Amino acid sequence: MAHDVKTQLTALLQQALASVAPNATDTAIHLERPRDPTHGDFATNLAMQLAKALKKNPREIAQQLLNELPPSTLVTKAEVAGAGFINFTLDAGTKTDVVKAVLVEKDAFGRSTAGKQQKVQVEFVSANPTGPLHVGHGRGAAYGASLSSLLSFAGWDVTREYYVNDAGRQMDILGLSTWLRYLDQHGQTVPFPPNAYQGSYVRDMAEQLKHAHGDKYLRSAEAVQAGTPGLPEAGRADDEAKQQRELHLDALIAKAKELLGPDWEYVHQHALNEQLADCRDDLEQFGVVFDVWFSEKALYDTGLVARCVALLEDKGHIYLQNGAKWFRSTAFGDEKDRVVQRENGLFTYFASDIAYHLNKFERGFDKVINIWGADHHGYIPRVTGAIKALDLDSDKLQVALVQFAVLYRNGQKASMSTRSGEFVTLRELRGEVGNDACRFFYALRKSDQHLDFDLDLAKSQTNENPVYYIQYAHARVCSVINQWNGDLAALTDADLSLLSNPRELAIANQLAQFREIIESAARDLAPHMIAFYLKDLAGEFHGWYNAERMLVDDAALRDARVALAAAVRQTIRNGMAILGVACPESM
């Protein structure tokens, strides 16, 4: 609807432009909605754009454009404002036409073809499967899922992907942690490393191993500790002590692999499978579903990591130093060069990350969106540099950063740390405030802005709680429609010219902006714009509902008002579906 209006207004202005400035007809015409509704429904700065070329005052040019503007039933008023803006006020009938469009298009209202069905991959969450997802992961999950739905709604062909870090040291630490707890349950206690995974879920996995396999993986505590370097005294936090703890941990991992032989792979895989299954279940319950779960290990198994490093070497971007292979990332704006293959022959995380991005490009995506935690900010130039070094189009890669979410319960800040086991899980948060509040509150801020998650507000049933406020608007419309008890299909024939009071026209104006909001939000990777829009729409509706009777005696006016209310309901449903939030019919 609004797009048709903008197209028609643009056509009117192009005709006026051809008369006033025939040599400047290629000037782009921008139409925006004024922030202040008293300034009309649309405004253009066309006259100001022409001022330099025509060497005239913008207000004078604006008046000339108005004089040449063809007559149209679309516009009731067009006037020069400010430094040379032209403000347009639309005819009331033009404004309310959107109501019929919503009722006819239903779930498709607001959908756009802006994405042109280009293939986009959105990779998000991708948390190491070393423990339950915490509230920080939850924000990335909610943002990634909402963004994916938004891009799909805006006409992109979206693939949602989770990158499983199943090949690195963290998984070895998890496997070791599980095995040490298993030994402990058999009476063979090895002092548990402070930098291993501490959570109760590790004991649960050890218990599963014991229950299923008895003492099959039992080895003596003496054998496990034999030849391993000692730990520094507890409490020491200097760099040397940290290094000693890491060396101790690596020695225990090596010992586990030696003592268990081929059985190590089973213990390792058991821990991975359990945590991955838990993660998948948690996300699915949160309404977050992935099309692809991509294994880091597969990059090694298929030889892609080695091929990728060889490619960089062939292109002259790798050099040898102290037996290690370094990628010359400083040539691409990084602060220092990066190791891709250590002197012992093992590839680094960075090498597999480059290979993963090569794989993404080889799969033919038109755009690749990585959603990373804000702490990965420094990682962007080196990955972008590697893409350029492989002669790939780095403009296809976009990285959206997600700031940490800080949870407040009873005024207390909750700490989160996967290794220590002291964290608030996403599952606990969902259990406390519900999926809807979780998904909406996570979407309420721009992803790269800090988020304080107020549990008390999220659980409150008040107008201050934005998700409750919007859901309540939806439930109110359902109540009105139930009381009306008419034929919903017939509402498309309602006499919308009867919707003439300012509140009704303001709501129609809000509805007409929905597709514009969809396209802007998709372009800026900003689903929070949908949350803000829905809050504003709910506010307009509540104000109207409280000021006017819906079900008046006049049948024609009653049907027109019910039609407007039904259009609000449909638009709320469409917007909330993008954010992954339910719309109850009664509250």
| 246 within some domain | yes
Give the Cα separation of 337 and 509 in Å (integer).
54
Mean pLDDT of all residues in 492-497 = 96
Give one DSSP letter per residue of 533-566, joined into a string: HHHHHHHHHHHHHHHS-SS-S-HHHHHHHHHHHH
Residue 124, φ and ψ in degrees, nearest 5: -150, 170
The answer to whether 145 touches 160, Cβ cutoff 8 Å, is: yes
Q: What is the extent of the structural domain holding 196?
A: 169-275
What confidence tens digit (pLDDT) does each residue in 252-281 have?
Answer: 999 999 999 999 999 999 999 999 999 999
| Helix axis angle, 2-20 to 514-523, nearest 10° | 80
Regarding whether 575 and 481 lie in a shared domain, the answer is: yes
Mean pLDDT of all residues in 551-575 = 98
Burial of 240 (0-12, 13-18, 19+ CB in 10 A): exposed
Mean pLDDT of all residues in 217-229 = 95
What confidence tens digit (pLDDT) does each residue in 501-557 have?
Answer: 999 999 999 999 999 999 999 999 999 999 999 999 999 999 999 999 999 999 999
Residue 516, φ and ψ in degrees, nearest 5: -60, -40
**CATH number assigned to the domain comprising residue 67:** 3.30.1360.70
Regarding whether 179 and 268 lie in a shared domain, the answer is: yes
| 13 within some domain | yes
Burial of 517 (0-12, 13-18, 19+ CB in 10 A): buried
| 420 within some domain | no
Choice among 23-32, 325-334, 355-364 with the minimum mean pLDDT: 23-32
Mean pLDDT of all residues in 2-27 = 87
* Beta strand extents in 9-143 (DSSP E only): 31-32, 42-44, 75-81, 85-90, 119-123
Regarding whether 574 and 472 lie in a shared domain, the answer is: yes
Residue 420: per-residue pLDDT: 53
**Given strand 119-123, what is the order of strands in its sheet?**
292-295, 157-164, 119-123, 367-373, 397-402
| 369 within some domain | no
The residue among 275, 297, 323 that closes a domain is 275
Residue 517, φ and ψ in degrees, nearest 5: -65, -45
Regarding whether 570 and 468 lie in a shared domain, the answer is: yes
Give one DSSP letter per residue of 89-118, joined into a string: EE-HHHHHHHHHHHHHHGGGTT---TTTT-
**Given strand 31-32, what is the order of strands in its sheet?**
31-32, 42-44, 85-90, 75-81
Choice among 142-146, 263-267, 376-380 with the minimum mean pLDDT: 376-380
Residue 479: per-residue pLDDT: 97
Q: Any residues with CB less than 8 A from the CB of 587 and at least 6 apart, and which?
A: 461, 468, 471, 472, 475
pTM (predicted TM-score) = 0.90
**CATH number assigned to the domain comprising residue 512:** 1.10.730.10
Report CA 338 to chain centroid distance, whole Å: 29
Regarding whether 177 and 82 lie in a shared domain, the answer is: no
Give the Cα separation of 54 and 61 in Å (integer).
8
β-bridge pairing 412-413 and 451-454: unpaired
Q: Any residues with CB less than 8 A from the CB of 57 and at least 6 apart, and which?
A: 51, 84
Closest C-alpha among 279, 287, 568, 284 to residue 437? 287
Is residue 579 over pLDDT 80? yes
The residue among 75, 90, 105 that closes a domain is 90
Percent of the chain with pLDDT over 70: 98
Q: How far apart are the first and last CA of the chain?
A: 32
Residue 450: per-residue pLDDT: 92
| 19 within some domain | yes
The CA-based diameter of the chain, rounded to the nearest angstrom, is: 95
Is residue 351 over pLDDT 80? yes
Number of domains in the chain: 3
As a whole number, the mean pLDDT across the chain is 94
| 347 within some domain | no
Q: pLDDT band for 3, please (50, 70, 90 cuts).
A: low
Q: What is the CA radius of gyration of the chain?
A: 30
Residue 251, φ and ψ in degrees, nearest 5: -65, -40
| 61 within some domain | yes
User: Which amino acid type is present at position 566?
Assistant: A
The residue among 90, 116, 147 that closes a domain is 90
Regarding whether 66 and 174 lie in a shared domain, the answer is: no
| 188 within some domain | yes
